[in-house]
Amino acid sequence: MKKLLGFLTSIVVTGSTASAVVACGGEDSTSINQGKTNATTDFKLTDIVKVKNAGTDINQLILSAAIKEGRLKDDISLNILDITDQKNNEYPTANGQKRDGYLVLTFRDDPLIRYTGVITIRFTIVKEATFDITQEVNLGSEYFDVTEYQYNSGQGLDIFIWERVLEKGLEKDAPTDKSAYDFSKITFPPENKLANTSWVLKCNDNANKPGVTYSGEITVTFNWVWYQADIEVSLPAVNNVPNFEQAIWSAVKDKMDGVNNFKFSDQYQNYDIAWEQIKEPSFGDSTSFNILAKPKPNQGDFSLIHIIGKINKDAIAMPTDSIGPIEIEITLKDKSNIDQIINEIWNKTLVLLNDYNLPLLPDFNIFNISSWKTDILNNWPELGLWQTFTLKAINNNSDRRFRGDLTVNVKLLSLGFFERINLTERLNLSVDEIKDQEKVLDKLWSILINEQEWKNAQVSNDRSKYDINYDDIQKAINRSNLLDLPVDYDAVIISKPEANIEKDVEVRLTGVLKVIK
């Protein structure tokens, strides 16, 4: 009967098709009927109508919600309306249970009311309730090994603990979705120590649903432990260190010895380890690594280990004793090219270094040898003699692969012939020959190269390669010519610097000459 009355009333008072005027908040001249605004409209509330208390005026709550959403003007109230139809506009009986309904409101036929028509408000109503889910959950005496979660910066640990919580069970109809709780930042206990902790998980807005609000917190108490080995490994200066993995594993064993509750296998083959992430450093260098050693299935009940390590590889040490002696044969012309001598010394040094079984030979430029040129010149031997001395190569530490200085013993051998030769054959010169210096020198040279001492020297017989001091010979010729007697003479024969000969020569020549008249 109420529905029929509302329908008939709607027909009588409308007389117009305008139904959205009230919702838009304006008046259209076409909706005016005998001085009244047609406010007929039919809509559904966007928001759910929430009821907290049993004494709440449900109809007023619904109308206020419509005005708040802008569906009706704020001067419309229940004082000018009659309820002509309704469904579920009453206090819900169950917490959080949603019910759909409608409310039909008809404007009263009163000259003082400026509206006419029927308002139909459709709604969903729910009884709002708040639940305090505060409780404690103790996960028992078992110690959880959380090494893998610590290695992964805590990722996944919240899921692991929450699963244990659900296994224990929650009370007070607490939400079981993990997202309903705020997991505080995870702070791990010190490594290698059994510890007890409590996590306070506060309920957040994600737990709420229409009409139901949760509050409170869950305190989760449990035991945990994680294992970590911080190690430093020193490797010898050799290529491809043998038993590289075992050297690392031995360091882990030494570090973890005596740790409570830790189960360790001496065999690294019983673990899954990303060895490819561990790089052997070059000589004199170091590398770092951060890996997880995870026991292989069916290999034994062993603990996980987070390994943080540093690997140092020794630099190649230069020999502490002196290298050599290195023999270098020289001539006078080599004085103008000391760099060539230095290169020869270095090349021979590298050959001798091979005897020390070094894994790698150093480059010349990693040493400071600025003093070598002066040292070589200061120790230049006289013709036909040798000089032994020490050269120091100072490591300038520009290449970390090598450490230490080099000491090289050098023996410079002068490929020279220095001798005093007394010619046994007299130099006889005619009056015509003494006028020609070349003829005199030819005869002198012929006598010299037949001397046994000259032959033993194994030097060049080409006179053009030598300078002969003729001044003293000329003086002797003059005296012999004047006195008509044999006289002694001296001469100095020196090889020319530009001459391409294997030995430098300096001969102090003495003899007797006679000008034959």
For 477: left if phi > 0, alpha if psi spans -120 to 50, otherwise beta; the answer is alpha
In a shared domain, residues 335 and 277:
no
Q: Which amino acid is present at 363?
A: D
Q: Show which of 414, 447, 468 is a domain's final residue.
A: 414
Q: Which amino acid is present at 285?
A: D
8 A C-beta contact, residue 199 and residue 165: no
In a shared domain, residues 284 and 238:
yes
8 A C-beta contact, residue 340 and residue 427: no
Answer positive or negative: Cα dihedral of 109, 112, 116, 121.
Answer: negative
Average pLDDT of the segment spanning 394-418:
95
Q: Show which of 392, 414, 436 is a domain's final residue.
A: 414
Instruction: Say which residue, 502 or 446, is predicted with more confidence.
Output: 446
Instruction: Return the pLDDT at 34.
Output: 64
SS3 343: helix
- Angstrom distances, CA of residue 131 to CA of 138, 177, 202, 208, 216: 22, 16, 13, 10, 8
DSSP class per residue in 186-197: P-PPPTT--EEE
CA–CA distance, 55 with 73 (Å, rounded to integer) = 26
For residue range 345-364, what is the model confidence (pLDDT) as tens digits?
999 999 999 999 999 999 99
CA–CA distance, 514 with 517 (Å, rounded to integer) = 9
SS3 357: coil
Percentages helix, strand, coil for the chain (3-state, rounded to 5) are: 30, 35, 35
Residue 501 belongs to some domain of the structure: yes
In a shared domain, residues 19 and 113:
yes
Residue 477 belongs to some domain of the structure: yes
In a shared domain, residues 44 and 98:
yes
- Per-residue pLDDT at 185 exceeds 80: no
Least confident of 5-14, 401-410, 439-448: 5-14
What counts of helices (H) and strands (E) characterise the chain?
A: 11, 29
Residue ranges of alpha helices (H) inside 308-425 are 338-353, 372-378
- Per-residue pLDDT at 5 exceeds 60: no
Residue 210 belongs to some domain of the structure: no
In a shared domain, residues 111 and 168:
no
Residue 71 belongs to some domain of the structure: yes
In a shared domain, residues 2 and 123:
yes
In a shared domain, residues 16 and 104:
yes
8 A C-beta contact, residue 119 and residue 39: yes
Residue ranges of alpha helices (H) inside 20-171 are 21-24, 58-68, 147-151, 157-168
Residue 209 belongs to some domain of the structure: no
Residue 168 belongs to some domain of the structure: yes
Answer positive or negative: Cα dihedral of 364, 367, 372, 374.
Answer: positive
Instruction: Return the pLDDT at 32.
Output: 55
CA–CA distance, 50 with 62 (Å, rounded to integer) = 10
In a shared domain, residues 395 and 451:
no
Which two tokens mark 340? 């060539």
Q: Report the Cα–Cα distance between both ends of the chain, in Å, rounded.
A: 180
In a shared domain, residues 92 and 66:
yes
Report the candidate in 127, 135, 124, 138 with the shortest Cα–Cα distance to residue 175: 135
DSSP class per residue in 151-218: HTTTTTHHHHHHHHHHHH---TT----GGGEE-PPP-PPPTT--EEEEEEEEE-GGG-BTTEEEE-EE
| Cis? peptide before 325, omega within 30° of 0 | yes
- Per-residue pLDDT at 136 exceeds 70: yes
CB burial of residue 464 (10 Å; 0-12, 13-18, 19+): exposed
298: part of which helix (H) or strand (E)? none
Pairing verdict, β 367-368 and 81-87 = unpaired
Answer positive or negative: Cα dihedral of 426, 431, 433, 437.
Answer: positive
For residue range 72-114, what is the model confidence (pLDDT) as tens digits?
999 999 999 999 999 999 988 887 788 999 999 999 999 999 9
What single-letter DSSP state applies at residue 75?
T
- Angstrom distances, CA of residue 269 to CA of 172, 264, 434: 50, 12, 100
- Beta-bridged to residue 105, according to DSSP, are 83, 119
Contacts of residue 62, Cβ cutoff 8 Å, sequence gap at least 6: 45, 49, 89, 103, 121, 123, 125
Which two tokens mark 168? 């224990």
CA–CA distance, 278 with 276 (Å, rounded to integer) = 5
- Per-residue pLDDT at 496 exceeds 80: yes
Q: What are phi and psi of 431, to 5 degrees?
A: -65, -35
In a shared domain, residues 1 and 125:
yes
- Angstrom distances, CA of residue 386 to CA of 389, 415, 416: 10, 9, 10
- Per-residue pLDDT at 479 exceeds 90: yes
Q: Show which of 264, 285, 317 is a domain's final residue.
A: 317
- Angstrom distances, CA of residue 385 to CA of 368, 412, 500: 29, 9, 20
Residue 208 belongs to some domain of the structure: no
The owner of tokens 């990303």 is 274
Residue 211 belongs to some domain of the structure: no
Q: In CATH, what number is assigned to the domain containing residue 448? A: 2.60.40
Average pLDDT of the segment spanning 360-384:
95
- Beta-bridged to residue 100, according to DSSP, are 124
In a shared domain, residues 446 and 469:
yes
For residue range 287-344, what is the model confidence (pLDDT) as tens digits?
999 999 999 998 889 999 999 999 999 999 999 999 999 999 998 888 989 999 999 9
For residue range 217-248, what is the model confidence (pLDDT) as tens digits?
999 999 999 999 999 999 999 998 888 999 99
Angle subtended by helix axes 471-483 and 437-448, to nearest 10: 100
Q: Which amino acid is present at 475?
A: K
Number of domains forming the structure of the chain: 5
Could you give the angle at the alpha carbon of 148 between the alpha carbons of 144 and 151, nearest 5°? 130
Structural domain range at position 56 = 1-129+216-220
- Per-residue pLDDT at 192 exceeds 80: yes
Least confident of 30-39, 189-198, 295-304, 356-365: 30-39
**pTM for this model (two decimals):** 0.66
- How high is the mean pLDDT of the chain? 90
In a shared domain, residues 20 and 121:
yes
